[in-house]
Amino acid sequence: MEGFLHLMSGFAGAATPGNLLYALIGCTLGTLIGVLPGLGPAAGTAILIPITFNLDATGAIIMLCAIYYGAMYGGTITSVLINVPGEAASVITCIDGHQMARQGRAGAALAIAAVGSFVGGSVATIALAMVAIPLAKLALGFGPVEFFALMVMGLFLVIGLAGKNLAAALLMTVFGLLLAMIGIDPVRGAPRFTAGIPELFDGIGFIPVAMGLFGIAELLLAAEQRQGHIVKATLTNLWPKGDEVRPTIMSIFRGTGIGFVLGLVPGVGAVIPTFMAYVLEKRLSRHPERFGNGAIEGVAAPETANNAYANASMIPLFALGVPSSPTIAVLMGAFIVNGLTPGPFLFQERPDLVWAVIASFFIGNVMLLALNLPLVGLWARLLRVPFSYLCVGVLIFCIIGAYSLKQTVFDVWVMLGFGVIGYVLRKLEFPLAPAILAMILGPMMEKSLRTTLEISGGSFLIFLDHPVALVLLAIPVVVFAFLILKPKAFSQLREADAD
Amino acid sequence: MRLGWQITSVVMLLICIATGWEAHNLALFDRLGPGPGFFPFWLSVIGAVLCAVILAQVTRTPPTGDDTAIFPRGDDARAAGAILVLTAIGTALLDLIGFRLAIMIFSAGLLIALGDRRWWLIIVFSVFAGFGLFHIFNNWLDVLLPVSEFGV
């Protein structure tokens, strides 16, 4: 009930003309990012951070969150119309969505995806409002011991589910943590790994690194894989046939459940919920042979799971301050750029901001529904923008974004350097998600571990005296034991996510 | 792919050794507890062990016949190369000639390098990218962008 009352007050904050405009701009830009193949939500959100610099913190976060869930929906359009997913989570939608488009039912596929996304996103937001306060209250009782264990758990779950090679995922985590060590030591104030370069005294900026690893690297990869052919889609009939309504409603409900539950688990990624929702629908269907040939449930379930996941994955960020995916890590970076630290204290320090942002998820979902159904033809037309112009435009935004953080060209070089590193690592199939999450969690992990060891006089046995920390540390141990002892149980899901 | 993993492991191993060495020279412990070198030192040790494990795994795996080159060749390589080189040139020019001219040159150069030959469109796009975006970000969004000594 408390969450509901706060949510109502959040609507008052979110429904100001300025914030409504920011949400609308965010949804539009997000859909655009999702529509354009080769530019995922993490890259898109990082690239567009500079346009929020002049906004107040609430407006900036509302806009960036809207970009995120807008991008999650936008990817569907290209999946259905040209069989090219705009972002990874829409891969599974290609199977039946594109078949529906070929049968002249693109309108119905896109409409059901929009409705499913709306339902999934809205239900997950209600749950976020209900769960966030109890979880944040629990986290308020955490000391440095529990916080360190919490961050270790979040990071190790990401590692466990991040890629095909566990050692490579762990190495990427170490790489991200070492990057986070550059600069002034947060506890004693000593400079570390700066090589005497004054720009490194503040550390390597998270946003230029994220832009490089995701934005520049994705552009370089896209330069090799130009667009496919656009199917001339019929967008007249937007609704499912009579006998499809009931199974579609049921698949939307099941997709919501799967997306929400998996959104709470760090490291799952947006692909796995969509994959699981699709597989479940196929298993439960009386006519599984329709899947792959244009089954509407094959679009409804994964698209619903996709948006339910997107909103539910905000819960660990808001309540615990732990990002569960690279895009959420970029959003956490945006919080920090705006002088805010996500986590339980934010509910005490800036409840106006937190609840306005949560309420804006609802408003954004309504906007997405209104934007996407009537304007789907317009979005499809954007796919005709030549790659060269898209590439130059994105690069300019990257340059502006990297430069404007500290008004230094050094950060643009950092972005470019990490673009090359990201391109090579992605070519070699090293997972990048653990690196980016480790980089943003690194300073907090180090600070909490060192404080813990100062309290205990250097003894690691202090963790045994804290049952919550022990439980949190046991979770990744159990997952890793499963990964090592039963590698086949996870390999299918991990490969789906890595691909 | 196999060679790529071996090179990456060796490079990462060297980075871990260098950071481990520097971290060791910082205090690992002081009178208050763990020092500034403590966390990075142990991270470097873990990283070095992981590099050695990956290197051993990859080297022990026999090379397969379908081990194809991972980097592009021909037009695709030229496109990726042009993106990198022209972005580097644009970045180098930012402080020298200011955002407007640097981005105008960068946009026109990259569009041509990526195969566009519609000159009027290239000119309009490049002028907007340089001068239009500068105006939008500098004047409307209050995002300061570099200006040369000549005020451009």
* One domain for residues B11 and B47: yes
Residue A51 sits at the vertex; the CA angle it makes with B111 and A372, to the nearest 5 degrees, is 80
Cα-atom radius of gyration of chain B, to the nearest Å?
24
Q: What is the pLDDT of residue A423?
A: 93
Write down how long chain A is. 499
Model confidence over A357-378: pLDDT tens digits?
999 998 998 898 888 777 777 7
Average pLDDT value for residue range A482-491: 66
Does some domain include residue B131?
A: yes
Residues B88 and B37 in one domain: no
Q: Say if residue A499's pLDDT is above 50.
A: no
Q: B4-15 b/e with 16+ CB inside 10 Å = b?
A: bbeebbeebbeb
Last residue of a domain, one of B11, B37, B60: B60
Q: Are residues B43 and B88 in the same domain?
A: no
The residue of chain A nearest to residue B85, with distances taken between CA atoms, is: A416
Q: What is the pLDDT of residue A227?
A: 45
- Nearest residue on chain A to B75, alpha-carbon basis: A224
B3/A466 Cα distance (integer angstroms): 46
Q: Could you report the per-residue pLDDT of A302-323, keeping only the tens digit for each?
A: 999 988 988 888 888 888 888 8
- Does B89 share its domain with B119? yes
Rg (CA), chain A: 22
The model's pLDDT over A144-162, given as tens digits with 9 standing for 90+, comes to: 999 899 888 888 877 776 6
Lowest mean pLDDT among A211-215, A335-339, A355-359, B68-72: B68-72
Considering chain A, what percentage of its residues have pLDDT values greater than 70?
90
Same domain, B33 and B84: no
* Cα dist from A315 to A6, A125, A342, B79, whole Å: 15, 9, 11, 41
pLDDT in tens, A322-351: 887 888 888 998 888 888 888 888 888 888
In a shared domain, residues B84 and B134: yes
Residue A184's DSSP bridge partners are: A191
Cβ proximity of A307 and A260 under 8 Å: no
Looking at per-residue confidence, does A405 or A194 come out higher? A194
Distance between CA A205 and CA A182 in Å, rounded? 10
Task: Give a yes or no: residue B16 inside a domain.
Answer: yes
pLDDT tens sequence across B110-141: 999 999 999 999 999 999 999 999 999 888 88
Give the three-class secondary structure for A232: coil
Structural domain contains residue B66: no
Cβ proximity of A444 and A437 under 8 Å: no
Distance between CA atoms of residues A75 and A37, nearest Å:
8
Tell me the C-alpha distance between A45 and A331, whole Å: 7
Interface list for B 50-109 with A (CB within 8 A): 50-51, 53-54, 57, 70-72, 76, 79-80, 83-84, 87-88, 90-91, 94-95, 103, 106-107
B91 occurs within a structural domain: yes
* Res B27: pLDDT: 85
Rounded Cα gap, residues A396 and B111, in angstroms = 13
Average predicted confidence (pLDDT) for chain B: 90
Angle at which helix A17-35 crosses helix A57-82, to 10 degrees, equals 30
**CB contact set of A62 (below 8 Å; sequence gap of 6+):** A14, A19, A22, A23, A26, A356, A357, A360, A364
Domain that holds residue B89: 75-140
For B46-96, give the DSSP string: HHHHHHHHHHHHHHHSPPPTT----S--THHHHHHHHHHHHHHHHHHHHHH
For A29-43, A48-62, A384-398, which range has the lowest pLDDT when averaged over its residues?
A29-43
B26, B38, B47 ranked by CB distance to A174: nearest: B47
For residue B32, the cross-strand partners are none
- The pLDDT value recorded for residue B43 is 95
A344, A49 contact by CB (below 8 A): no
Contact of B93 with B108, CB cutoff 8 Å:
no
B55 plus B109 within the same structural domain:
no
**A188 contact residues in B (CB cutoff 8 A):** 30, 35-36
Burial-class residue A481 by CB neighbours within 10 Å (0-12, 13-18, 19+).
Answer: exposed
Q: Give bridge partners of residue A183 from the DSSP assignment.
A: A192
Examine the domain organization and report whether B88 and B117 are in the same domain.
yes
Distance, CA of A438 to chain centre: 15
More confident residue, B11 or B73: B11
Is B70 inside a domain boundary?
Answer: no
Question: What is the predicted pLDDT for the residue at A421?
Answer: 96
Return the pLDDT at A229.
47
- Under 8 Å between Cβ of A78 and A30: no
Closest chain A C-alpha to B79 CA, distance in angstroms:
6
Flag whether B145 is in a domain: no
Query: How many other C-beta atoms lie within 10 A of the C-beta of residue B21?
Result: 11
- Which of B31, B91, B145 best tests the A interface by mutation, with the highest count of A CBs <10 A? B91
Cα gap B53→B59, rounded to integer Å = 10
Task: Read off the pLDDT band of A432 (50, 70, 90).
Answer: confident
CA distance A465 to chain B (A): 19
Q: In sequence order, what are the beta bridge partners of B34?
A: B29
Interface test with chain A among B87, B94, B104, by most A beta carbons within 10 Å:
B87
In a shared domain, residues B55 and B92: no
Q: End-to-end CA distance of chain A, in Å? A: 42
Q: Give the contacts of A361 (CB within 8 A, at least 6 positions apart).
A: A65, A69, A121, A125, A128, A311, A314
Measured between alpha carbons, how far is A87 from A40 in angstroms, rounded to an integer? 5
Q: What is the mean pLDDT of chain A?
A: 84
Q: Residues B47, A464: contact at Cβ < 8 Å?
A: no
Cα–Cα nearest to A175, from A218, A217, A209: A209
Tokens 């698949």 belong to residue: A251
B8 and B53 fall within a common domain: yes
Of B4, B84, B145, the CB nearest to A428: B4
SS3 at position A408 = coil
**Residue A230: per-residue pLDDT:** 46
Using CB atoms, which residue from B8, B79, B143 is nearest to A223?
B79
**Per-residue pLDDT at A224:** 78
B24 and B50 part of one domain: yes
Question: 375-394 in A: which are within 8 Å (CB) of B?
Answer: 386-389, 391-393
- Does any domain span residue B147? no
Of A53, A223, A392, the CB nearest to B143: A53
Phi and psi of B34, rounded to 5°?
-60, 135
Residue B50: its chain A contacts at CB < 8 A?
167, 170-171, 174
Domain boundary among the residues B60, B84, B100 is at: B60
H or E segment and range at residue A449: helix A433-456
Do B79 and B135 share a structural domain? Answer: yes
Domain total of chain B:
2
Q: Does residue B151 lie within any of the structural domains?
A: no
